[in-house]
Amino acid sequence: MPVLDDAEKAEPRSQTSDLAVWSGLVLAGLALTAVAVAVGARVGSSGAPFTGAYRFKLEVGTLLAPAVAVTVLAAVRAGVLDRLRWPVLLAASYVAAVWWALSLALVDGVNGLASPVDSPQEYLHDVPAVGSDPAGFVSGFVAHSDGYSIATRTHPPAPVLLLWLFDRLGIDQPQTLGVLMTLLGCAYLPLVAIAVRSLCHEPAARHLLPVLVLAPYAVWLAVSMDAVTLLIAAGFICCGVLASERDRSWGWAVACGLLLGTAALFNYAVVWLAVSVIAIYFARRRPLLNVFTGAAALLPLALFAAWGFAWPAGLSAAQTDFSLRVGPERSWLLWAVLDLVVLLLACGPALLRAMRRVRLTPGWPFLVGAGLAVVFAIGSGLSRGEVERAWLPFFPWLLVPAVAPWRRPQGDEPHAGPTPHLLVAVGAVSAIVLEAVLRTAW
């Protein structure tokens, strides 16, 4: 029988402490929100700290998500994390993540798979603008952006082009698109696990999987184009980690760059995650890989520039639109706090545990890009709501330290902290509650 040290014996107490702090911060944030709305502060949303509206919906579909959560937690308690072979565990985790995300969407019935896609504020309504001339759509994207939906004019053109491609392939029904985007988005999980396995060793990757599978941000991952961005972002970080391993071909660094450039055409903010790749290259003493990744990242941007879309011009247009449309309605200082409340809710109580263990994880490079992105978004005033989906590509990386060991392992000794079952369970409950009481356009 293994001998537990004092820190490991204190594990249940540490989870309770993290849960108490998380609950206190969330309650304080929600109380601040209620006061701000009551006194007529510049919140700009009756559903703050979200930009939707509150409702209460309890139907048969509401029971599916708890069943999924209980099944996953029971499997983890039964020891599947240690018993299953690595490829099988990755496949099982992906299936569980899809199951969890879809079960949350189905709280609204089959309509929950379609309405976020078919909303007038979303990309699907701009697909007819592409017509039979995608190059023409790209070249006039910035000039005609004020005539597009809110989602389209605050993002690069790639999301609309992807939906246009699906349409050309005969995939045009909102429900089908919703399921497809969920299937694609949940594929981020094996990629994150592979990256964590390389940098933090396999035990940490195995113990992290339940944290990600039942993460509360699955509420916004389901039926979301931002989930596709999450997948691409996880892909380029995973390729970067693999490129940094000894005896790996520089082709992985090129693949990392190509995916990075592609991700930048889906979301302007996701380029911050490139800082994580740079940190990984330097941490593993392979800085020259930055040249291959950087050059490859420019290729997708150069292709779109040749078609007439200049990425900096698109970013400037999106910022101007946001400032004119949202700036006068929402206080920067107030939303700086409310966005942090959303971050706490989206990542769940495991985020508090991760914050305490940042200095103990060899996966600290994963947090560099995601952390800088959050800090910049808040400090610049460009995130005043809607961060539950805008920050979706960053959430998984912020949770990596949640399974860091109490003490740094010596050398390359594989070691990890245990899966925080209590925190995962409470996070799952918070996701179920959010889906039941909150209605958003996505």
Residue 441's φ and ψ, nearest 5 degrees, are: -80, -5
C-alpha span between 330 and 62 (Å, rounded) = 33
Using left for φ > 0, alpha for ψ between -120 and 50, and beta otherwise, residue 200 falls in alpha
Q: What is the tens place of the pLDDT at every residue in 174-225?
A: 999 999 999 999 999 999 999 999 999 999 999 999 999 999 999 999 999 9
Report the mean per-residue pLDDT for the chain. 91
Domain definitions of the chain by residue range: 8-439
C-alpha span between 200 and 416 (Å, rounded) = 8
At 383 the pLDDT is 81
Coil vs helix vs strand at 104? helix
Q: How far apart are the first and last CA of the chain?
A: 50
CA Rg value for the chain: 21
SS3 content of the chain, % helix, strand, coil (to 5): 70, 0, 30
Output the six-digit token pair for 204.
């940490």
Give whichever of 53-62, 118-127, 208-217, 400-409 has the largest mean pLDDT. Answer: 208-217
C-alpha span between 405 and 38 (Å, rounded) = 44
Q: Which of 60 and 231 is assigned the larger pLDDT?
A: 231
For residue 204, what are the CA distances in angstroms to 178, 196, 264, 365, 409?
A: 32, 7, 29, 15, 12
Q: What is the tens place of the pLDDT at every residue in 291-325?
A: 999 999 999 999 999 999 999 999 999 989 888 88
**Half-sphere exposure (CA, 13 Å, Cβ side) for 88?**
6
Confidence of residue 327 (pLDDT cuts 50, 70, 90): confident
